[in-house]
Structure 1
Amino acid sequence: MDGASNGGMLYHEVQESKLCAVHCVNTVLQGPFFSEVDLAALASDLDSKERQVMLQGGATTAAASSPGGFLSEDSHNVSLGGDFSIQEKASSVLQKALEVWDLQVISVDSPVAEPAQIDPELENAFICHLHDHWFCIRKVNGEWYNFDSLYAAPQHFSKFYLSAYLDSLKGSGWSIFLVRGNFPKECPISSSESSNGYGQWLSPEDAERITKSCNSVQASPQRVNWGEQHSDQPLSLLSEMEDEDLKAAIAASLMDSSLATAKVEGSTTESEDQDNTEKSA
């Protein structure tokens, strides 16, 4: 990915209802390319194809004997609340949306993803999934950012922290996917005026300023308050671990100082006692 895309700006979407799949796709593509209506259309198309396959393969006896059978079942890929069910299979809504842009979604546990397990810096984007939440970690203009829609702005990652963060996600039960292919080079920023309404363009400096501002207000990172099940994001856990390590280091330093002071005071006392003894003699 040569040159600064989108004039060096970052595209971020803040959580709206349960549309994290929409936010995830758009931040991978770095632009307001899809709306919930677009993904709903893809989901409906997938449902239609799945049912057609079931018809061709033959339904179960119970389904075939009932009026409409399995065809009357609710959509497997999208709910009325906009919560897209994106399964770990090639026909998923999210994967289909990215396939439009000639992008592939690959599990990091796949043999072809082995280089990414060793050095994730070699990749351009990761998609992370746990329960009903999806977000992307993306390299933009040579720098890594966490575009989790539960945060007010994208968070910059160092190359070292990227690897540690992905490892912490996997250790916490998250599914990680690579995104490979020809990413869109540009998305006219003017298009955001007619976008989905929850996207924003930020300079890296603005993103850093928002992040610092939110972190100064609350102890945990600037997570938008949506769903208690996502409040234990490993990023805050790592921050807490770093804080504990810092406290431990400070405590150890203070203890060493106290011991050193005690030794000095002890030596001084011994010296004074010895002088007093000599004077008495």
Structure 2
Amino acid sequence: MEGDSNGGMLYHEVQESNLCAVHCVNTVLQGPFFSEFDLAALASDLDSKERQMMLEGTASAAVSSDFLSEESHNVSLGGDFSIQVLQKALEVWDLQVIPLDCPVAEAAQIDPELENAFICHLHDHWFCIRKVNGEWYNFDSLNAAPLNFSKFYLSAYLDSLKGSGWSIFLVRGNFPKEFPISSSEASNGYGQWLSPEDAESITKSCNLTQAPSQRNTMSQQPALTETDLQLLSDMEDEDLRVAIAASLMNSSPATASAELTLLMTAK
């Protein structure tokens, strides 16, 4: 039986500038495999190929000229990268990035817990949800440590993200099993290796020191707790469950829980 990857450690990167795409790719791979310079090189290569295709395939010189005069389509001046760049980076490791609403990803829509990783994007922010050593974690770089998910939380969480306009991509393939933690490349300045216990401890500490409104603003994600989502799971109407989860996403934790309790009482 195979042992835990990376000796049971979790790799997490904390937000640096606008490098959430770099953090996202590295947490999918569970190691500091890519730097911002690596992704910038991939973006430049994609830009060159796209411009070449426009020159060779367009029937309108004016359209081609307009396209060629624009800035990069794959990296913004602020440092945000396109999904095509993330796809190219992960292709290096034989991983496919598939929109979750594609027919080929239908199984993942039904049973997401059987997959290994998802990439989420909204308003120039990228983050990864990843299964590591049999457990699901949210590796959002805006959080101080990865957040552990139950299988039920994963499904409801993805539903609520979709309902709030997030783009979700499935990642499939043969994920790297190990990264040489002891090597000189084991840290890129914002990455850290944490045991699951350390990650839980850091999260609890942050929850105690931050006000609820601050936590909700920093995470940009649902305020629903696992208890809330368990209440949602008791609802028989699947569409109603998803709609309620999505509508409560932007509430503060206390408000979301109170509203959900009232809804369940009324039901």
The SS at the match of 1:169 is helix
AA in 1 matched with 2:28: V
Establish whether residue 4 from structure 1 lines up as the match of residue 4 from structure 2. Answer: yes
Distance 1:223 1:103, change over 3 A: farther
TM-score normalised by L of structure 1: 0.77
- Asked if structure 2 preserves the Cα contact closer than 8 Å seen for 1:43 and 1:78, the reply is yes
AA in 2 matched with 1:29: L
- The gaps in structure 1 that reach 5 residues or longer are 87-91, 253-281
Q: Which residue of 1 aligns with 2:45?
A: 45
Establish whether residue 151 from structure 1 lines up as the match of residue 143 from structure 2. Answer: yes
TM-score normalised by L of structure 2: 0.81
- 2:260 & 2:167 partners in 1: Cα distance? 30
AA in 2 matched with 1:33: F
Distance 1:240 1:108, change over 3 A: farther
- 2:152 corresponds to which of 160, 180, 184: 160
- What displacement does 1:207 show? 0.2
- 1:25 & 1:160 partners in 2: Cα distance? 25
AA in 1 matched with 2:74: N
- The gaps in structure 2 that reach 5 residues or longer are 225-247
- What displacement does 1:235 show? 3.9
- 1:5 & 1:240 partners in 2: Cα distance? 37
AA in 1 matched with 2:257: D
Larger Cα-atom Rg: 1
- What displacement does 1:97 show? 0.2
RMSD of equivalent CA atoms = 2.7
Q: Which residue of 1 aligns with 2:118?
A: 126
Aligned residue pairs, count: 239
- What displacement does 1:58 show? 3.1
- 1:117 & 1:192 partners in 2: Cα distance? 39
- Asked if structure 2 preserves the Cα contact closer than 8 Å seen for 1:106 and 1:179, the reply is yes
- Asked if structure 2 preserves the Cα contact closer than 8 Å seen for 1:23 and 1:135, the reply is yes
AA in 1 matched with 2:170: L
- Asked if structure 2 preserves the Cα contact closer than 8 Å seen for 1:168 and 1:234, the reply is yes
Distance 1:34 1:225, change over 3 A: farther
The SS at the match of 1:191 is coil
Establish whether residue 187 from structure 1 lines up as the match of residue 179 from structure 2. Answer: yes
AA in 1 matched with 2:124: D
Establish whether residue 234 from structure 1 lines up as the match of residue 222 from structure 2. Answer: yes
Percent of matched pairs sharing the same residue: 81
Q: Which residue of 1 aligns with 2:234?
A: none
